[in-house]
């Protein structure tokens, strides 16, 4: 089996969706630094897609910039995915560690992340009649990432095809549950903050009176 640098392993995983992650597993390859860089690029790609798209294809009516949705669509969703998959696959006797799930999943997101930047760039040069080319690029990016993600989970946990499908479905279910609980938690924090703020305002008013 080949000896590659960490950067070369990224290319190997991308161009060999069937056996690339399997080779990485046996060689214990993969870099957390590269994985984090990919998620950071995903974060900026989501911002570019939402704010810098060509005006002939998309017009943003937001007067203020809110960074929270982009953090959720990148860092939060990725963290929930990794945690959910690790939790589910621990119960399904998966062999993948939290570190490997994080690395393999991040590598699988490269085509999706790349198509964000490519389409943002093309949106400033193409006309509306040529939008089909951007749709094709988006479809390729999403489809390629889906294939890589399936292969990554299958390889990291050493699952069969059917068990990988089951693991992915359960992971999505776990993500929905965690996101629901996260929303409830944030709502609770907000209510507590409002209550404390109201009490403080009331006490301050009475102290002045």
* Cβ–Cβ under 8 Å, residues 16 and 29: no
Distances (CA, A) of 140 to 58, 94, 133, 176, 208: 21, 29, 11, 26, 65
Mean local confidence (pLDDT), 31-54: 92
Q: Which residue has the tokens 């897609």?
A: 49
**Stronger pLDDT, 206 or 47, i.e. the higher one:** 47
- Alpha carbon separation from 130 to 114, 124, 125, 127 (Å, rounded): 19, 12, 10, 5
Nearest to 106 by CA among 42, 15, 17: 42
Question: Rounded to whole angstroms, how far apart are CA atoms 123 and 130?
Answer: 10
Structure tokens given for 192: 């507590």
Per-residue pLDDT tens over the stretch 158-180: 999 999 999 999 999 999 999 99
pLDDT value for 61: 63
Q: Is 91 left (phi over 0), alpha (psi -120 to 50) or beta?
A: alpha
pLDDT band with cut points at 50, 70 and 90 for residue 155: very high
Q: What is the pLDDT of residues 70-128, one digit of tens each?
A: 999 999 999 999 999 999 999 998 898 999 999 999 999 999 999 999 999 998 888 88
Domain boundaries, the chain: 6-208
Measured distance CA(109)–CA(122) in Å, rounded: 20
When comparing pLDDT for 155 and 63, which is higher? 155
Neighbours of 98 (CB within 10 A): 13
């Amino acid at each position: 089996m080949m000896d590659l640098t960490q950067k070369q392993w990224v290319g190997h995983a991308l161009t060999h969706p069937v056996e690339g992650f399997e080779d990485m597993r046996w060689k214990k390859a993969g870099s957390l630094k590269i994985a984090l860089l990919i998620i950071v690029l995903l974060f900026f790609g989501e911002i570019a897609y939402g704010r810098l798209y060509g005006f002939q294809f998309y017009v943003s009516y937001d007067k203020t910039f809110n960074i929270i949705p982009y953090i959720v669509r990148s860092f939060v969703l990725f963290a929930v995915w990794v945690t959910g998959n690790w939790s589910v696959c621990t119960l399904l006797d998966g062999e993948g560690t939290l570190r490997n799930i994080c690395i393999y999943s991040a590598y699988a997101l490269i085509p999706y992340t790349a198509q964000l930047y490519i389409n943002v760039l093309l949106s400033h040069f193409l006309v509306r009649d040529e939008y089909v080319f951007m749709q094709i690029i988006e479809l390729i990016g999403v489809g390629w990432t889906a294939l890589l993600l399936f292969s990554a989970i299958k390889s990291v946990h050493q699952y069969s095809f059917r068990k990988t499908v089951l693991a992915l479905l359960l992971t999505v279910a776990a993500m929905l549950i965690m996101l629901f609980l996260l929303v409830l938690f944030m709502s609770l924090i907000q209510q507590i903050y409002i209550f404390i703020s109201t009490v403080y305002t009331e006490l301050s008013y009475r102290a002045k009176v």
